[in-house]
A = this chain, B = another copy of it.
């Protein structure tokens, strides 16, 4: 009955502070690097959230967008983007 196969997908969600928001953690990393003689600027620390989703591709995409926008990020302060790919067969077999 299902038009699309149910598969396991590997998703990556990238959450970064909006450019206008100060990032004290990034400033701290920048200073730590400078103390070690490593010059870098504009250091920003964000999150990379990896997760697995099962279902039909279209449904999984919808659920991932909902999670990324409504749960995993704060739309007031953060930008979010995501990638979705089929999980390697090994991950399915090992589940």
Binding site for B on A (CB under 8 A): 11, 14-16, 26, 29-30, 32-33, 36, 38-54, 63, 66-67, 71-72, 91, 95
Contact = CB atoms under 8 A, between A and B. Distances in A.
A56 to B, nearest CB: 13
A47 B47 contact: yes
A25 to B, nearest CB: 9
A14 B50 CA distance: 11
Given A32-B71, A67-B33, A71-B32, A40 B52 contact: yes
A50 B44 CA distance: 5
**Stoichiometry (number of copies):** 2
Contact of A29 (B43, B49, B63): B49
Given A40-B53, A53-B39, A72-B29, A16 B67 contact: no
Nearest to A14: B48
Given A40-B53, A44-B51, 17 more contacts: A16-B48, A29-B51, A29-B72, A33-B67, A39-B53, A39-B63, A40-B52, A40-B67, A41-B51, A41-B53, A41-B54, A41-B95, A42-B91, A43-B49, A43-B51, A46-B50, A47-B47
